[in-house]
Structure 1
Amino acid sequence: MSQQHNSDDDFPASKMERSKIFAKTGLKVGKNYAKYLADRVTGRGGDAEERKRDLNTKNAEDLFREFTRLRGTALKMAQSMSMDTGMMPDEFMEVMAEAQYNVPPMNRALVRKRIRDALGKMPELLFDTFESEALAAASIGQVHRARLSDGRDVAVKVQYPNVRETIESDLTVARTLFGRLVRGGSIDSHFNEVRDRLREETDYVNEADNIDFFAEQYDQDEIVVPRAVRDYSTETVLTMTYVEGQHLKEFLQNNPDQAARNHFGQLLWDFLHEQVASNHRTLHADAHPGNFLFRDDGRLGVIDFGCVKTFPQDFRDDMLRLYRARMADDDQNIERLLHQLDILHDDLSDAVRNEIRAFFDQYGSLIVEPYRTPTFDFGDPEFSQRLHDCFQEASRLREVVGSPHFIFLNKALVGLLNLLTQLEPVIDTTHSVELLNDELETLGETPVPSCSASN
């Protein structure tokens, strides 16, 4: 856990303070580019690919450092954009992943003030116990453990000051900055998508609604979801029942046997597919290790329901059709659906078009590979390497392509694959194929052949 700050002045809440940090970051990125271009002309600093990787890493580190100070919209936007395959270089995904664990928390006085302003009383008057040191500090808020007078253990999420008020100004400035880092194309629709989700994520009443929805849909024998405590929740403070469990890093440090790895990997895999196949089309889109808990009773804890995405019906259905076309190696329908999903455009040059099509053929084939056999081993190092190479290849695309709805689908999908390749389970894919086939049949599409029949 990072050290507590000693002064409220360390938190840049005003528009002017935040604009200065953005400007400073832009200067750093510009300086990095100038050095890269000078080295390219003189031939210093290794080969071209190595220089570009160094540039990307340096830019990502500078962005991470300053956006971590900003927290809020800036950091959340950086995380979301870096998870969008093809939007940002691969090095950004690696650096920005650290933001989930290394955000400096608010000092104790500011936490107490935020709770008093939201709930009318200081935390010691609201809760039987309240731990002043944060359990976790992330991009939009931080979490403290507490206990209610009725004996329930709860987690209290406290939002950083002025987060919602800075969304528009942060995104306006960040739009210019990130426009220098992405590879061509228009990113306005992607920024609009991030902005819309941020507006939802910074409303803790909305997150309480999400918690209730997921608890009703998925809290059962194998999945544990907290419950919102409405009397102790507002738009900026969210109190929910506390869910015990270990995060992935702690779980793996205890050297779990293969059976335990397989068990939790199966729960993660099936949880995603239950959501995709649901009529609600609503996805827990923040699939990073901090949001899942591995419990001693064998159940999977799922927490943090701020980043939830409900997909339009046509987008969800076209993704199912694309899955089916990939499984059937149906090139004609793949081509049609890549246009339908705004990945391919008629106005692209042949060279760019071929490059984009080649990448998405590679990426799509990898994504459907687990479904082609009744079981799949995510501990296969060859699969992990190909996945990593594919993400690196994504950073070389010259155009920003695809529906903006891909941002949070990719966030969930890439997050899940990251979890599974660390956990290294062998999973059974038959149930997930059945779920997707049921949805395909409702669309009037021919279902995918069973795994055993496809080999």
Structure 2
Amino acid sequence: MPEHRTSGWLLARRACTTAAIVTGHLIAALPHLGTRGGRARLAHRAPRLLTALGPFFVKAGQLVSTRRDLLPAHVCDALAELADDVRPPSRADVARTLAEAGLADAFAEFEWEPVACGSIASVHRARLADGTEVAVKVQRHGIRPVLEADLRLALLGARAGRVLPSMRDLPAEEMIGQLGGAVLHQLDFIAERDSLLLLRANLADHTDLRIPAPVDGLCGPQVLTMEFVSDLGRFRPLGMTMERRREVVRDVLRAVYRMLFVDGLVHCDLHPGNLCLDGKGRVVVLDAGFVVRLPDAVRRSFAGFFLNMAQGNGPKCADIVLESAARLPENLDREAFRTAVTELVDEAFGALSKDFELGAFAPRLFQLQRDHGVFAASEFAFPLLSLLVLEGMIKEFDSEVDFQAEAVPVLMASFAKDVQVDAERRTDAEHSQDRA
């Protein structure tokens, strides 16, 4: 949630600006209302509207574009076109942020022209006194109060939207609260540094996976200094042998499955800009700003869902979805929902494992959830949806990859670990009772 220090004048200014932009887009959209294909045209206006509204709405739109469990596919497809198409910050603003972080003189060389630029931060190439090349992520100066003000306005808009019949059953405030929390969390570069360190430790045995290390003493709430990867390329299989392609696919999948099912610390933003290859063909994972820590119960539920799906146990999959949901309608027909999910899982289980596609399965599951008013918890939805983004990239390397077969060994290791942990807890509890 936004902090209370957001000033009244800033909130009023952003409210006026937002109202003017929204009104202009509504007037432009009026001719399309009620026409054939009108809804699709309105959806395609959404990226322009959100871009005009500013960085909070762009980030929120990017995140909500993945929530196919809540919104129609044509809306998500339109929002997926959003990009951080922003001007780089001025040299003065970057210098001011570095000075406020106490890092004005920390670099022997600093390239003011960013190598990457987004709505929240820019990334600059720099060199330390000992010659080490580093990447310096610098938060845009003054961005926090603007994002906090926009979150407040978005929450007010969601409350006002309750009067619309189409919005009445949509948990808009919950969605915006979750999205706003995810956006504001990306402003905490200390948390991102900690996430980088944890991901590096958790995935240390994946030798073909690189995660840039943060540099001690050169990180703060608004500046994150990391090792520089100079030979980054797109995550594409060009020039690779089929054997090497399969090695890359297996390593990525096992790393992601370990995040999901074992460690519960999940990088939820593995799009083509954050998943790259270096000059030696090793996988490089960038930007740990959107990393979600799954509560242990959610991690176990998530693992249980996938294992039961791989085993064709539809009723259990349905029960897990219901148990992990953020909200269930009072009039939910549980048996009808269980039957529908069971039929979907049975159909997927009946296909050859290598032919299973999460991109085909998940939208149908999401549609069932929407039809029955079952709203998934964000901790459950975001990791699942991150797999959807990854699936298309993986299929380009190896169209025959068996997603379920690669998952099962990690799932079994996860359950073995959980059984051991539960046994140790019971033993500790028994010893405590004996001592008492």
TM-score by length of 1: 0.76
Where does residue 227 of structure 2 map in the other structure? 241
Asked if the contact 2:261–2:299 (Cα under 8 Å) also holds between the matched residues in 1, the reply is: no
Residues 438, 126 of structure 1: alpha-carbon distance in 2 compared, 3 angstrom cutoff: closer
| Match runs of 1:242-281 below 5 Å | 242-248=228-234, 251=236, 254=238, 256-278=240-262, 280-281=263-264
The separation in 1 between residues aligned to 2:387 and 2:72, in whole angstroms, is: 17
Identify the residue that residue 432 of structure 1 maps to in structure 2: 407
Once residues 303 and 383 of structure 2 are traced to their aligned partners in structure 1, the CA distance between those partners, rounded to angstroms, is 13
Give CA-to-partner distance per residue, 1:279-308, whole Å, 9 cap, x none: x31111111111112123232111111111
Worse-matched range after superposition: 332-341 or 269-278: 332-341
Contact 1:135 / 1:143 at 8 angstroms: preserved in 2? Answer: yes
**2:384 and 2:18 mapped to 1: Cα distance?**
26
Matched letter for residue 138 of structure 1: G
Q: Counterpart of 2:401 in 1: which secondary structure?
A: strand
**Which residue of structure 2 lines up, in the alignment, with residue 408 of structure 1?**
382
Tell me by how many angstroms 1:219 deviates. 3.8
Q: Aligned with 2:122: secondary structure?
A: strand
Alpha-carbon deviations, 1:30-58, whole Å to 9, x = none? 4466434342xxxxxx4xxx332222112
Answering whether residue 149 of structure 2 is matched by residue 169 of structure 1, we say yes
Say if 1:120 and 1:437 are closer, same or farther in 2 by CA, change over 3 A.
closer
Verify the 8 A CA contact 2:275 2:283 in the aligned structure 1. Answer: yes
Q: 1: distance between equivalents of 2:65 and 2:339?
A: 21
State the structure with bigger RCO (CA 8 A, min sep 6), 1 or 2. Answer: 1
Displacement of 1:349 in angstroms is 5.9
The one of 61, 83, 88 equivalent to 2:66 is 83
Contact 2:62 2:80 in 1 (8 A): yes
The more displaced of 314-323 and 422-431 is 422-431
Instruction: Name the count of aligned residue pairs.
Output: 405
CA gap 1:334/1:296 in 2 versus in 1, 3 angstroms:
same
In the TM superposition, what whole-angstrom CA distance separates every residue of 1:406-440 from its partner, at most 9, and x where no partner exists? Answer: 34223422221242244455435544311102223
SS in structure 1 at match of 2:52: helix
Superposed, 1:195-234 pairs within 5 Å as: 195-220=180-205, 221-234=207-220
Letter paired with 2:18: F
User: Which of residues 249, 267, 284 in structure 1 aligns to 2:267?
Assistant: 284
Residues 109-148 of structure 1 mapped to structure 2, 5 A cutoff: 109-121=92-104, 125-148=105-128
Q: Taking structure 1 as reference, are residues 98 and 265 closer, same or farther at Cα in structure 2, changes over 3 Å only?
A: farther
**2:319 alignment counterpart:** 336
Letter in 2 for 1:436: L
Structure 1: which amino acid aligns with 2:383? L
Which of 16, 28, 35 is matched with 2:31 structurally?
Answer: 35
Which residue of structure 2 aligns with residue 9 of structure 1?
none
Task: State the Cα deviation string for residues 99-141 of structure 1 (Å, max 9, x = none).
Answer: 44533321233222222222252xxx43222222211112321
- The alignment yields a C-alpha RMSD, in angstroms, of 3.7
Match of 1:57 among 44, 48, 53: 44
* Structure 1 residue 156, shift from structure 2 partner: 0.7
**For the residues of structure 1 that align with 2:129 and 2:399, how far apart are their CA atoms?**
41
Distance 1:233 1:324, change over 3 A: closer
Compute the displacement of 1:97 (Å). Answer: 3.8
8 Å CA contact 1:246–1:294 kept in 2: the answer is: yes
1:419 aligns with 2:393: yes
Secondary structure of the equivalent of 2:101? helix
Cα distance between partner residues in 2 of 1:90 and 1:363: 21
Distance in 1, Cα, partners of 2:346 & 2:142: 40
User: How far is 1:92 from its partner?
Assistant: 4.3
Distance 1:245 1:204 in 2: 24
Which among 109, 120, 131 is matched to residue 151 of structure 1?
A: 131
User: Whole-Å Cα distance in 2 between the matches of residues 157 and 106 of structure 1?
Assistant: 12
> 2:424 is matched with which residue?
none
Q: Displacement of 1:244 after TM fit?
A: 3.6
* TM-score for the superposition, normalised by structure 2: 0.79
How far residue 327 of structure 1 moved from its aligned partner, in angstroms, is: 2.7
Q: Could you give the per-residue CA deviations for residues 215-263 of structure 1, whole angstroms, max 9, x where no partner exists?
A: 22224521111111232221111111112443436x46x5655444433
Which SS does the other structure have where 2:378 is aligned?
coil
Q: Is the Cα contact below 8 Å between 2:315 and 2:341 reproduced in 1? A: no
In 2, Cα distance between the equivalents of 1:369 and 1:21? Answer: 54
Question: Partner of 2:170: helix, strand, or coil?
Answer: coil
Aligned residues of 2:315 and 2:338 also touching (Cα < 8 A): no
How many Å apart are 1:403 and its aligned residue? 1.5
Q: Which runs of 5+ in 2 are unaligned?
A: 1-8, 420-436
Does structure 2 retain, via aligned residues, the 8 Å contact 1:356–1:397?
A: no
In 2, are the aligned partners of 1:15 and 1:169 still within 8 Å (CA)? yes
Identity of aligned residues (%): 20
**Range moving further from structure 2, 256-265 or 352-361:** 352-361
Task: Specify the alignment match of 1:297 in structure 2.
Answer: 280
Question: In the alignment, is the contact (CA less than 8 A) between 1:185 and 1:400 conserved in 2?
Answer: no
Instruction: For 1:296-375, list aligned pairs within 5 A.
Output: 296-342=279-325, 345=328, 347-348=330-331, 358=340, 362=344, 373=353
Label 1:216 to 1:414 Cα distance change in 2 as closer, same or farther (>3 A).
same
Letter aligned with residue 20 of structure 2? K
- For the residue of structure 2 that corresponds to 1:119, the secondary structure is coil
